Amino acid sequence: MSGILEGKVAIVTGAGQGVGRAVAEGLAAEGAKVVVNDIGVTLTGESENPSAADEVAGAIRAAGGEAVGNTDSVVEPENAAKIVQNALDSFGRIDLVVNNAGILRDTIFHRMTAAEWRPVIDVHLHGSFNVSAAAAPHFRKQESGSFVHMTSTAGLIGNFGQANYMAAKLGIVGLSRGIAMDLQRFNVRSNCIAPFAWSRMVSSIPTETEADKIRVAKLKRMTPEKIAPLVAFLGADAAAGISGQIFSVRNNEIFLFNQPRPVRTIHRGEGWTAQAIAEQLPGAFGPSFTPLERSAEVITWDPV
């Protein structure tokens, strides 16, 4: 296959189904050789289909592409290193890492336990670090490479019952920006994508209210395949100079998200007391406070 990624080698974690599978297949269609990584677990992390990665790799090969399956876990650094080594052993190099692997353990915060917190952080945030850290020395040596990390509007904006997932996904934004800044001098890029797509992970959204049912109906119109073109672009030489950014794909829309910067300031020459702050800060900053909104309340228009 030929395309914008001709001659490049990509790793896609969590690529056994959903967004990950669509991305892996999309990268292959653009000419990339792909390591399809997935340990074959359920949405909450229990073993389900250990052959998922091989099945996707087989489908890519059947379509004329090049791919290998990999079942190493991103949670352990030594296994993450094996994923990168698999790419080197199979295809001789590594050019693109797509950190997509994730699980959910949704619980309202006051009921959330450490057993629901840690695995989500481990897979999303620690997993993204582990695979990125394993690939970074190779990117540095060859003075090229691209990371694409999957974040979420749950972390960028907010959602109920997902403090663990929100923390992980917003942490990934910080990780991506840190990578982008530290590896810029080696011509290595790092960006985030918040995907809107109907997938297994999104299918866990509750539909108890009429508004939630309408929201889910809209999500079902957005297929995972819509995410792949932006991932392919960010992994291609055509994206040179684009790094440290946060994008989102929503059906046929591509968004660029802003990043935190000061929006208001107050000054008091003689310094502040708690009482003085109480008298001045709420009125001065209040109109600029960010409301406690879910992404559906911020991005309110229908997908196009």
| Mean pLDDT over the full length of the chain | 93
- The pTM of this model reads 0.92
Q: Among residues of the chain, what percentage have pLDDT more than 70? A: 92
Provide Rg for the chain, Cα atoms. 20
User: What does 192-244 look like in DSSP terms, one character per residue?
Assistant: EEEEE---TTGGGS---SHHHHHHHHHHTTS-GGGTHHHHHHHHSGGGTT--S
pLDDT at 162 over 80: yes
The residue annotated as part of the active site, out of 91, 165, 233, 247, is 165
What digits encode the pLDDT tens for the residues 111-134? 999 999 999 999 999 999 999 999
- Report the pLDDT value the prediction gives residue 302, as an integer from 0 to 100: 86
**151 vs 47, more confident:** 151
pLDDT > 90: percent of the chain = 85
- In this structure, are residues 84 and 131 in contact, taking their beta carbons and an 8 Å threshold? yes
Domain covering 9-259 in this structure, CATH number: 3.40.50.720
The string of pLDDT tens digits covering residues 191-248 is 999 999 875 555 555 567 777 667 667 667 789 999 999 999 999 999 999 999 999 9
Q: Is pLDDT of 5 > 70?
A: yes
Answer yes or no: is pLDDT of 104 > 80.
yes
Active-site residue 165, yes or no? yes
Encode pLDDT of 274-291 as tens digits: 999 999 999 999 999 999
What pLDDT does 201 receive?
A: 54
Angle at 104 between CA 103 and CA 110, to 5 degrees: 145
Give the start-to-end residue ranges of the domains of the chain: 9-259
Give the confidence band of 82 by pLDDT, cuts at 50, 70, 90.
very high
pLDDT band of residue 303 (cuts 50, 70, 90) is confident
Whether the pLDDT of residue 172 is over 60: the answer is yes
Segment 14-52, tens digit of pLDDT: 999 999 999 999 999 999 999 999 998 767 667 678 899
pLDDT number for residue 41: 73
